[in-house]
Structure 1
């Protein structure tokens, strides 16, 4: 039987894996390989939180492959060189992989495909990560979309026919003569246990993703449209890290949602959740067509905008959740403890950084990149440019989130704040949301908490609007 290499990257699953299925259906004996080459994704090489998730996800994939009679061959180094060497060792006739869409990865994969085809091998890439690939959809004028609603109106018509495929039940053994590193050899796990609390909340791997999807369908999917905005409850699927690492596909999620017999009153919730998958698709569409936006403003209106020079102490206070603004501190501490932050709170903390402090959104994007377990370049870029007002279909710059009213509206009993900022646990509502306005009570009940916010919210809002006016 001829041999094919299946190159795993961020598609760390066996079910609905088009590259793996294509190799098997073509009759090849499959050699699964993961090549660790983070430097090839520079300047956005994966951060620390991504690495610690990847460590456990690779362990899970290894176990799943071994259960089917195979194993994961792990290499480290230049991807092209390692794949070339492995093809020679195994006398492989083909290489299969699933596409990724970041600019640096596209360039690398193009070189790999050209090299292997020049060698005379079959080299095939497939779509495992998206419902709609970025180049397959355009406006009536043939241009990329820059507004979500018309993008999704077009895209949603194309997605229902897609079916997820099951995992294989057996795989051929990989010869022990084929050398492999262990997952531990990659040095992905932290040497200090800063990630210990992560695993109280997450189970990396394909089984963990499916389990979380089950939990979502049985619970938070009902009422999702409204409940997703409240950080004090489980109102979202939290599947984002599993999607990022390809432990579950959007096709699998869509198929499960469509297969459920939902009461009519929940259809609005399911459609809204599917539209959130659409935002993920839109983010990839934007990054593919505007690859410089991971580092540059998409909107030319901000070419002359005067961002403030960061104060290192204030930036560190924001990063560590010591701003004196309770909802911001709660969000940043949730991020530090779990590797994830509720989406509503992401918008609030980003607004404070980009508008009240007037720091360039890249300062926030870089911090999220290193600390989020769902750090995805397309989503991270779109999220920050949306809040900063510099991207496609973005919130206008003059829309500045008020963190006090946001916490009053979306954490009305202070449950979320009290969970992540225990210094404030004894503060009553409504003093909890702006403790500096209740100084005497705060000194008595929250003496360890900052007495003032690190920026005057009203004055900084006016300064941000002034900077916008001046740039025009």
Structure 2
């Protein structure tokens, strides 16, 4: 029998899923699939990667939901090309549906699979799902792209309000069409061991957020010792929640929180149009900057042993949990790039290894912002002072004491660099790069 296939990637959910909605409304029963992509997995050095545990957990939840509807999730392991070649042999495929991804590798992958399917005259239909606005949907009046956030966010809001209904944040009612799933017995989902990883005990943040947290978000989000943020970033990363649902919550409860979702759209748009940012400065004038790239200092930063308590607390939290509070991400990134003059790409790569919510567009954008080399960047002469940041946001040292247990004792290291000297060195280096000395 002819079927449609829906390919889950960064959308591990059934509810309010754009591509899945359109697949279920097609003329054919829908088989959902997921591919553990060896092109990605083979680059992961840590075989206890918490992200794989997270994905595997939610794939099992997804499969259980499908089984309630007499269907099942087909999970494959291999390169997408190899997997799709096998699927074409095993099934009579009429159409393939999926949601768009904006990372360079994902775009290459989809182009390759699209060509493979087109040889069999199988349509490959893609949809917007992981952002509110994509590609050229938010542009200047002359059609040009925004590379500064504030005017982009203003136009983002304008576009949202152009439709008097909730058009852009309206949920897709997939549940209405669940009887259109392909009826099948359960498939065996490969274990983590089957794909070369270990199943480890770990806790993940809940995928819901209380209204009171959102209402207080603007006042509490900068304090790492308290629960003032949503902790939903990992769910957004893997699409276990819908961006439209979260935008609806932001519109009702918190402009500040909604703003963070707009930043996410902004960085996805930047990555989509300017893929060179993955390996290069967005702002080419900083290419002349001479990084020090001291390996011992980088190692001290990675291990949380810089002698700057707020920096060390953040790095130790990251190493142990895979999470770091957003305010502290800015402080640690500023410290690496400005105090130590270490290339932002080193820090970005380390975060890519460790962050549970690692998202290329946001991570890259955040690091280039901190280094002053990106879009809408933190100006080079603004250098976070770790001491004043501590006084503002962790005055009682609760966060620091939680993660830096030897703080205040002889065992805690001396600062690896003097703040004032580091600041002057950085200003001098950036001025030279810009030809201002």
**Do the structures match in fold with TM over 0.5?**
yes
Q: What's the secondary structure of 1:116's corresponding residue?
A: helix
Tell me the residue number matched to 2:364: 381
**In structure 2, C-alpha distance between the alignment counterparts of 1:78 and 1:257, rounded to whole Å:** 38
In structure 2, do the counterparts of structure 1 residues 241 and 130 end up closer, same or farther at CA, with 3 Å as the change threshold?
same
- Verify: 1:161 aligned to 2:177, yes or no: no
- Verify: 1:302 aligned to 2:295, yes or no: no
In structure 2, do the counterparts of structure 1 residues 459 and 40 end up closer, same or farther at CA, with 3 Å as the change threshold?
same
Tell me the residue number matched to 1:418: 401
Contact 2:70 2:184 in 1 (8 A): no
Tell me the residue number matched to 2:163: none
In structure 2, do the counterparts of structure 1 residues 27 and 415 end up closer, same or farther at CA, with 3 Å as the change threshold?
same
Tell me the residue number matched to 1:455: 417
Tell me the residue number matched to 2:377: 394
- Verify: 1:287 aligned to 2:250, yes or no: no
**In structure 1, C-alpha distance between the alignment counterparts of 2:139 and 2:341, rounded to whole Å:** 34
In structure 2, do the counterparts of structure 1 residues 257 and 468 end up closer, same or farther at CA, with 3 Å as the change threshold?
closer
Tell me the residue number matched to 1:344: 327
Contact 1:36 1:186 in 2 (8 A): no
Judge which range, 374-383 or 101-110, deviates more. 101-110
Tell me the residue number matched to 1:31: 31
Aligned with 1:187 (options 195, 207, 217): 195
Q: What's the secondary structure of 2:7's corresponding residue?
A: strand
**In structure 1, C-alpha distance between the alignment counterparts of 2:146 and 2:430, rounded to whole Å:** 26
With normalisation by structure 2, the TM-score equals: 0.91
Contact 1:10 1:245 in 2 (8 A): yes
Contact 1:231 1:344 in 2 (8 A): yes
Q: What's the secondary structure of 1:35's corresponding residue?
A: strand
How far off is 1:83 after superposition?
1.9
**In structure 1, C-alpha distance between the alignment counterparts of 2:34 and 2:139, rounded to whole Å:** 34
Tell me the residue number matched to 1:428: none
Contact 1:41 1:104 in 2 (8 A): no
Tell me the residue number matched to 2:119: 118
CA deviation profile, 1:425-456 (whole Å, cap 9, x unmatched): xxxxxxxxxxxxxxxxx4xxx13211x11222
**In structure 1, C-alpha distance between the alignment counterparts of 2:126 and 2:46, rounded to whole Å:** 22
Give unpaired runs (5+ residues) of structure 1. Answer: 263-269, 425-441
How far off is 1:255 after superposition?
2.4
**In structure 2, C-alpha distance between the alignment counterparts of 1:252 and 1:284, rounded to whole Å:** 19
Where do 1:143-162 residues align within 5 Å?
143-159=144-160, 160-162=166-168
Contact 2:304 2:316 in 1 (8 A): yes
**In structure 2, C-alpha distance between the alignment counterparts of 1:81 and 1:249, rounded to whole Å:** 30
Where do 1:178-257 residues align within 5 Å?
181-187=189-195, 189-190=197-198, 193=200, 196=201, 198-199=202-203, 202-203=204-205, 208-209=206-207, 212-213=208-209, 215=210, 217=211, 219-257=212-250
How far off is 1:84 after superposition?
3.1
How far off is 1:185 after superposition?
4.8
Contact 1:65 1:72 in 2 (8 A): yes
Contact 2:38 2:79 in 1 (8 A): no
**In structure 1, C-alpha distance between the alignment counterparts of 2:154 and 2:342, rounded to whole Å:** 34
Tell me the residue number matched to 1:429: none
Contact 1:241 1:373 in 2 (8 A): yes
How far off is 1:14 after superposition?
0.4
- Verify: 1:319 aligned to 2:327, yes or no: no
**In structure 2, C-alpha distance between the alignment counterparts of 1:364 and 1:232, rounded to whole Å:** 23
**In structure 2, C-alpha distance between the alignment counterparts of 1:248 and 1:11, rounded to whole Å:** 8
**In structure 2, C-alpha distance between the alignment counterparts of 1:146 and 1:406, rounded to whole Å:** 28
Contact 1:4 1:96 in 2 (8 A): yes
- Verify: 1:328 aligned to 2:311, yes or no: yes
**In structure 1, C-alpha distance between the alignment counterparts of 2:328 and 2:412, rounded to whole Å:** 20
In structure 2, do the counterparts of structure 1 residues 232 and 379 end up closer, same or farther at CA, with 3 Å as the change threshold?
same
How far off is 1:356 after superposition?
0.6
- Verify: 1:464 aligned to 2:417, yes or no: no
Tell me the residue number matched to 1:52: 53
Judge which range, 377-386 or 243-252, deviates more. 243-252
- Verify: 1:82 aligned to 2:44, yes or no: no
In structure 2, do the counterparts of structure 1 residues 308 and 447 end up closer, same or farther at CA, with 3 Å as the change threshold?
same
With normalisation by structure 1, the TM-score equals: 0.84
In structure 2, do the counterparts of structure 1 residues 293 and 43 end up closer, same or farther at CA, with 3 Å as the change threshold?
farther
Tell me the residue number matched to 1:434: none
In structure 2, do the counterparts of structure 1 residues 379 and 41 end up closer, same or farther at CA, with 3 Å as the change threshold?
farther
CA deviation profile, 1:259-307 (whole Å, cap 9, x unmatched): x5x6xxxxxxx11211110000000011111101011101111111100
Contact 1:12 1:247 in 2 (8 A): yes
Contact 1:287 1:378 in 2 (8 A): yes
Give unpaired runs (5+ residues) of structure 2. Answer: 161-165
Contact 2:52 2:192 in 1 (8 A): no
